[in-house]
């Protein structure tokens, strides 16, 4: 039986083996390359996607597990009010250097601010902790998020 | 500068279909050099930066600017582009002056137009540039456009950032080509092991799965159209290989190895290695101390990758190498090819922070592509590959000694011990290029491993910033290149300067304490550079304005990268928990990088360097045993994360008339030193060996 995944609001018939980790279905079959392969071990967050509103790594868990769930990748996040705000805030705050972690962090930040529009700095640091950034853009990323929370908070 | 080899304006800037296209040999590695270069040209020509385009960096077209490293890009490529732009501006002004039949003194350039108020004439700069000879020589004396009275160049988003936040920015890892195959390398269990055989059953399994097996001696790879299938196939192949065990790696304490192994010692004079006998140690020092740093990783977020295509006997390779020309030479020499038959094109990778596995991956992709002609090969290293096989940053020991007189340092000795920081595959005698490409050690006709010789350039390699920036009456500085160490090493951000600066700055605090002087005043006692003093003054003002309270302790440091680039004064505020865990609260940076090209980019580099320095200082350490590196993921090799990130405040002191100097490596060293000094203020223990983690703090406390 074939697998159907709902990604960025659209149903997709998946041809890959359902045991394939979601990340490889997204990147290899659907050519959604925003989520990055960073470790393949759920340790770095580069592959984060929104699943029913939560930021989860996609590099290990089989795609079949995500059937019936709402998957939003960084490519689709602009459709969410908070997602679009996070993207704009990242640009305004110059919140990336090499950009390899950026997709995952945009996803993680969107998940946080959607659930907690008034998140304080400690909540931000805790929510983004699963995502590694090696370039040291952390202060700019936190500033980007604070520019949202301090400007009338994020809608969902 | 590179104008000797590329003396024409057209080497750097061309007008193509009405748009200025900029050329550079420097590549983006997260430091946003192309954004900075774009700003430089935009400012010289008063053009909207959005109207400029950067040419992709590729061999045969782009100027050969060697390696993108050493915080040199703004000074080298930036200076060349600035002069090329200023030359073009001069040409346009001359043409405009001709049109109004005047001397041009009353022409005004602004917003990409030259205006002449008296005759109400207005010329578009680009129209005039179209009439300039594209092959005119760059005027090396062309003056910069003065900033006086001009609005600063507006902020604009770093190139690529809009795409990055939307997941549309293409890294090499994301490239697609018709007929492309994904590939993974299967590595021996240990670097000394060699392949005995591959089980027939395994070959059959790979074949049944439609996967290609590539073999050249003990170099093994799997390729196929579906990435996940290739990953599974590589695991299957690894299980089906029988290896002949090689020698064990030396095990032990890195500090003892560095001090006891054979070494080549070279004295320094003002940062310059000397072909001279090593001077005797300092007599009767008042204070001595030994500082150490373990092996550490570049640890790129994205494992190294490359895309290669072999077609009609030629190779095209997309690589995130920091030096596409040296890489091309090393690959051509490895494969006995003509240089012209190898093209290397820069593509984006994750931030590398120095020489990581980018070059190795490029060569491995080339080997696989050669075995599978006409198929584009996208090779990615795995996380385990990257952690376990990248050329690591060498462990280091620094021994310092000082003799005091009347509260001042009268004599100072600095000795550094380290393996090489030069593992890049640069061509040279004895196949120096091929020998530094990892796969060449495993091929059927293997290259012998590279044996390093001391780097004799000023403030290079392990002796970068070993000669202190302070004015001490007598200085003895010696570099010791140590041999027979267990891990392959190469250049990482700051090279030796991270450790040398940490050592100097921690030792300065010890000396200040012995002299009964305030640490900041003691540094000032030994500096006479007005810009250094201005940076310290600004930090002092900050310290006075924001006193620390409660359990918070503070440490400071000062450094100037390579003793000639960006000046940085640092204050670190931290506390130590009851579990002996250091917690950073605030890092304050005061920096003078001369004329500021890109304020956002400069600040990001300074802050990013500070956080990487903090991560090195507090957390990072490669673990190895006789089989190799054992810290092969982010759990066993932790790095700084959001939960540990302090507040960072950056104060820039600008000197618009001073040259722009590199800043990407300016902050890690002094930040490490300031953290060590803050820890002493917090707990009364001098932390002289990185990382300063809870385990080490506890061990020190128990030892006292």
Does residue A156 register a pLDDT over 60?
no
User: Least CA distance to A143: which residue of chain B?
Assistant: B647
In order, the DSSP letters of A93-112 are: TT--SS-TTHHHHHHHHHHH
Cα angle: B549, vertex B552, B554; to 5 degrees = 105
Angle between helices A102-115 and A81-92 (to 10 degrees): 130
Residues B342-356 pLDDT 10s? 999 999 999 999 999
From residue B555, give the alpha-carbon distance in Å to each of B345, B574, B619, B647, B682: 45, 9, 18, 15, 9
Asked if B486 contacts B624 with a C-beta cutoff of 8 angstroms, the reply is: yes
Q: How far is B639 from chain A (nearest CA, A)?
A: 8
User: Least CA distance to B385: which residue of chain A?
Assistant: A39
Residues A110-130 pLDDT 10s? 999 999 999 999 999 999 999
How would you classify the pairing of strands A70-72 and B13-16?
unpaired
pLDDT > 70: what percent of chain A?
96
Residues B339-390 pLDDT 10s? 999 999 999 999 999 999 999 999 999 999 999 999 999 999 999 999 999 9
Q: Could you say which DSSP state residue B309 is in?
A: E
Q: Can you say whether the dihedral through the CA atoms of B435, B440, B442, B445 is positive or negative? A: negative
pLDDT of B1 reads 56
Q: How far is A63 from chain B (nearest CA, A)?
A: 12
Q: Which of A8, A2, A13 is nearest to A34 (CA)?
A: A8
Rg of chain B over all Cα atoms, to the nearest angstrom: 27
Quote the tokens at residue A102: 């950026």
Four-CA torsion A76, A80, A85, A88, nearest 10 degrees = 20
Q: Is B275 exposed, middle or buried (0-12, 13-18, 19+ CB in 10 A)?
A: exposed
Test the B interface: residue of A22, A35, A95, A99 with most B CBs within 10 Å:
A99
Q: What are the chain A neighbours of B173 within 8 Å (beta carbons)?
A: 33, 36-37
Find tokens 């390093």 and name the residue. B452
CA-CA distance, B573 to B554, in Å (whole number)?
4
Mean pLDDT within B620-625: 98
Residues B420-458 pLDDT 10s? 999 999 999 999 999 999 999 999 999 998 999 999 999
Of B30, B161, B349, the CB nearest to A91: B161
Report the 3 state secondary structure along B620-650. CCCCEECCEECCCCCCCCCCCCHHHCCEEEE
Mean of per-residue pLDDT scores for chain B: 96
CA-CA distance, B239 to B382, in Å (whole number)?
16
Quote the tokens at residue B235: 């695991």
Mean pLDDT within B269-282: 97
User: Least CA distance to A105: which residue of chain B?
Assistant: B165
Does residue A132 register a pLDDT over 90?
yes
Mean of per-residue pLDDT scores for chain A: 96
pTM over 0.95: yes
Q: What are the chain B neighbours of A106 within 8 Å (beta carbons)?
A: 165, 167
Residues B49-87 pLDDT 10s? 999 999 999 999 999 999 999 888 898 999 999 999 999
**Interface confidence (ipTM) of the complex:** 0.97
Residues B540-561 pLDDT 10s? 999 999 999 999 999 999 999 9
Residues A51-104 pLDDT 10s? 999 999 999 999 999 999 999 999 999 999 999 999 999 999 999 999 999 999
Q: What are the chain A neighbours of B181 within 8 Å (beta carbons)?
A: none
pLDDT band for A1, please (50, 70, 90 cuts): low
Mean pLDDT within B119-133: 96
Q: How are the residues of chain A apportioned to helix, strand and coil, as percentages rounded to the nearest 5?
A: 40, 15, 45
Find tokens 């009609």 and name the residue. B312
Q: What are the chain A neighbours of B589 within 8 Å (beta carbons)?
A: none
Interchain contact, B302 vs A37, CB within 8 Å: yes
Q: Can you say whether the dihedral through the CA atoms of B501, B506, B508, B511 is positive or negative? A: negative
| CB-based contacts of B275, cutoff 8 Å, min separation 6 | B266
Interchain contact, B302 vs A73, CB within 8 Å: no
Is the peptide bond prior to B691 cis by the omega test (within 30 degrees of 0)?
A: yes
pLDDT band for B105, please (50, 70, 90 cuts): confident
3-state secondary structure of B540: helix
Interchain contact, B643 vs A126, CB within 8 Å: yes
pLDDT > 70: what percent of chain B?
100
pLDDT of A11 reads 98
Mean pLDDT within B181-191: 97
From residue B382, give the alpha-carbon distance in Å to each of B244, B299, B459: 23, 12, 34
From residue B362, give the alpha-carbon distance in Å to each of B359, B378, B437, B439, B703: 5, 10, 9, 10, 48
| CB-based contacts of A1, cutoff 8 Å, min separation 6 | none
CA-CA distance, B586 to B400, in Å (whole number)?
29
3-state secondary structure of B220: strand
Interchain contact, A74 vs B167, CB within 8 Å: yes
In order, the DSSP letters of B581-610 are: -EEEEEEEEEEE-SS-S-HHHHHHHHHHHH
A124 interfacial to chain B (CB closer than 8 Å):
yes
| CB-based contacts of B278, cutoff 8 Å, min separation 6 | B265, B266, B267, B478
Interchain contact, B173 vs A73, CB within 8 Å: no
pLDDT band for A154, please (50, 70, 90 cuts): very low
Residues B283-307 pLDDT 10s? 999 999 999 999 999 999 999 999 9
Does residue A140 register a pLDDT over 70?
yes
pLDDT of B698 reads 95
Find tokens 């149903």 and name the residue. A11
């Amino acid at each position: 039986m074939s697998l159907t995944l709902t990604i960025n609001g659209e149903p997709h018939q998946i041809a890959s083996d359902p045991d394939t980790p979601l990340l490889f279905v997204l990147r290899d079959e659907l050519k959604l390359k925003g989520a990055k392969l960073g470790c393949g071990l759920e340790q770095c967050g580069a592959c984060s996607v929104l699943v029913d509103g939560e930021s989860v790594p996609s590099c290990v868990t089989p795609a079949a597990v995500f059937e019936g769930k709402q998957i939003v990748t960084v490519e689709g996040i602009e459709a969410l009010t908070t997602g679009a705000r996070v993207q704009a805030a990242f640009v305004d705050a110059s919140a990336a250097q090499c950009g390899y972690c950026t997709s995952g962090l945009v996803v993680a930040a969107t998940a946080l601010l959607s659930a907690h529009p008034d998140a304080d700095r400690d909540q931000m640091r805790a929510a983004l902790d699963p995502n590694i950034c090696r370039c040291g853009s952390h202060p700019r990323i936190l500033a980007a998020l604070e520019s949202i929370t301090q400007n009338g908070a994020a809608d969902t | 500068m590179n104008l000797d080899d590329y003396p024409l304006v057209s080497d750097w800037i061309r007008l193509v279909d009405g748009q200025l296209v900029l050329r550079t040999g420097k590549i983006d590695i997260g430091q946003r050099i192309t954004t900075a270069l774009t700003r430089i040209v935009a400012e010289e020509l008063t053009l909207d930066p959005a109207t400029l385009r950067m040419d992709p960096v590729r061999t045969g077209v782009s100027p050969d600017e060697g390696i993108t490293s050493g915080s040199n890009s703004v000074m080298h490529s930036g200076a060349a582009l600035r002069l090329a732009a200023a030359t073009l501006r001069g040409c346009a002004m001359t043409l405009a002056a001709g049109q109004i039949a005047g001397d041009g003194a009353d022409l005004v350039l602004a917003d990409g137009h030259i205006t002449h108020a008296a005759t109400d004439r207005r010329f578009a700069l680009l129209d005039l540039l179209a009439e300039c000879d594209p092959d005119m020589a760059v005027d090396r004396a062309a003056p910069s456009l003065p900033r006086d009275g001009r609005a600063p160049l507006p902020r604009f988003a770093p190139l690529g950032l809009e795409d990055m936040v939307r997941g549309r920015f293409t890294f090499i890892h994301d490239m697609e080509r018709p007929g492309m195959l994904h590939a993974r390398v299967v590595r021996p269990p240990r670097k000394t092991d060699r392949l005995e055989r591959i089980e027939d059953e395994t070959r059959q399994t790979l074949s049944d799965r439609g996967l290609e097996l590539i073999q050249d001696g003990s170099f093994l790879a799997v390729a196929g159209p579906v990435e996940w299938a290739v990953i599974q196939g590589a695991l299957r192949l690894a299980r089906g290989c029988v290896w002949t065990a090689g020698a064990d790696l030396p095990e032990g304490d890195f500090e003892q190895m560095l001090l006891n192994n054979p070494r080549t010692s070279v004295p320094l004079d003002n940062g310059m290695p000397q072909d001279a006998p090593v001077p005797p140690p300092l007599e009767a020092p008042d204070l001595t101390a030994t500082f150490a740093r373990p092996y550490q990783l570049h640890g790129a977020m994205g494992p190294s990758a490359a895309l290669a295509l072999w077609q009609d006997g030629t190779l095209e390779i997309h690589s995130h190498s920091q030096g596409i020309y040296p890489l091309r030479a090393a690959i051509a020499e490895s494969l006995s090819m003509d240089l012209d038959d190898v093209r290397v094109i820069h593509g984006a990778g994750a931030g590398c922070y120095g020489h990581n596995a980018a070059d190795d991956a490029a060569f491995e992709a080339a080997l696989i592509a050669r075995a599978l002609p006409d198929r584009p090969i996208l090779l990615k290293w795995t996380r385990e590959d990257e952690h376990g096989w990248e050329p690591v940053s060498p462990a280091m020991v620094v021994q310092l000694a000082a003799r005091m007189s009347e509260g001042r340092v009268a004599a100072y000795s600095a000795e550094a011990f380290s393996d090489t920081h030069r593992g890049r595959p640069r061509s040279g005698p004895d196949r120096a290029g091929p020998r530094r490409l990892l796969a060449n050690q495993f091929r059927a006709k293997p290259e012998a491993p590279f044996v390093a010789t001391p780097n004799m350039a000023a403030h290079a390699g392990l002796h970068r910033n070993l000669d202190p920036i302070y004015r001490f009456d007598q200085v003895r500085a010696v570099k010791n290149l140590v041999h027979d160490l267990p891990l392959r090493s190469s250049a990482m951000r700051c090279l030796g300067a991270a450790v040398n600066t940490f050592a100097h700055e921690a030792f300065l605090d010890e000396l200040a304490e012995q002299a009964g002087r305030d640490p900041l005043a003691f540094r000032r006692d030994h500096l006479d550079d007005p810009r250094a003093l201005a940076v310290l003054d600004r930090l002092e003002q900050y310290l006075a304005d924001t006193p620390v309270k409660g359990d918070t302790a503070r440490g400071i440091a000062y450094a100037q990268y390579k003793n000639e680039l960006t000046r940085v004064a640092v204050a670190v505020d931290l506390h130590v928990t009851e579990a002996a865990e250091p917690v950073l609260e605030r890092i304050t940076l005061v920096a003078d990088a001369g004329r500021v090209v890109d304020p956002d980019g400069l600040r990001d580099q300074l802050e990013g360097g500070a956080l990487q320095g903090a991560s090195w200082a507090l957390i990072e350490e490669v673990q190895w045993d006789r089989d190799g590196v054992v810290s092969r993921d982010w759990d066993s090799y932790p790095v700084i994360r959001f939960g540990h990130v302090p507040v960072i405040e950056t104060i820039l002191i600008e000197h618009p008339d001073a040259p722009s100097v590199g800043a990407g490596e300016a902050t890690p060293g002094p930040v490490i030193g300031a953290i060590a000094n803050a820890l002493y203020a917090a707990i009364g223990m001098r932390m002289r060996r990185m990382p300063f983690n809870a385990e080490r703090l506890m061990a020190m406390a128990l030892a006292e």
